[in-house]
Amino acid sequence: MIYHVKDNDLNILLKGKLNSKISKKILSHIASCDVCSQRLAELTLQMATLTPPKGMYEEVLNASAKEKSRKKQKDETFTLYCVRVIAGICAAIVLTYSGFFKKLADIDLDMTKVNNASCSISERLYKNLNDFSDTLFNREEKA
């Protein structure tokens, strides 16, 4: 069963005579109920209404124009992103099926040279360290 706020409570709410806790409860119900919001609108119109400053309308229109351009920019950025992703996927498919990666894998790299180079460096390091320790021992013996 759906409960609605009584007119009397809405009137008290509009006159600001409800405590804040109950007001918030009622407001959260009105925020999701068409019947109560319609009733609140009608009761408000029966009371003294206020006219907002006319300049406010211009401010809202300016803000809406900004919002529109921001949304447009966002859409354009998203479209560009989609185009880039699709282009990337297409390029990947073309490269895969054209055998580019296979050709790349077939390139025979002479890795032995690299290994030799690394060995020679380690060997040289090892030799240098040995020489250094020999020199130290010799000096100690002389002393």
Partner 1 sequence: MKYLISQFRLYKHSHSGVVNITNEEKLKYWMETYGKLVFSICYRLVHDYFSAEDLTQDTFLSAYTSVNRFDGKNEKAWLTRIATNKCLDYLKNAARRTQPSESKELELHVGSSAWLEDEYIRNELSKDIRKACENLRKPYCDVAVAYFCEDKPLSQIAKEKGEPLKTVQTRAYRAKKMLRENLKEVVLL
CB of 94 to partner 1, least distance (A): 39
Separation of alpha carbons 108 and 50, rounded Å: 84
CB of 33 to partner 1, least distance (A): 8
Size of the site for partner 1 (CB under 8 A): 43
Residues 29-58, one symbol each (x = binds partner 1 by CB under 8 A, - = not), give -xxxxxx-xx-xx--xx-xxxxxxxxxxxx
CB of 78 to partner 1, least distance (A): 17
75 binds partner 1 per the rule CB under 8 A: no
87 binds partner 1 per the rule CB under 8 A: no
Separation of alpha carbons 92 and 98, rounded Å: 10
Phi, psi (deg, nearest 5) at residue 48: -70, 125
How far the first Cα of the chain sits from its last, in Å, is 105
In the complex with partner 1, the residue whose CB is nearer, 17 or 102, is 17
Closest to 13 (Cα-Cα) out of 27, 1, 34: 27
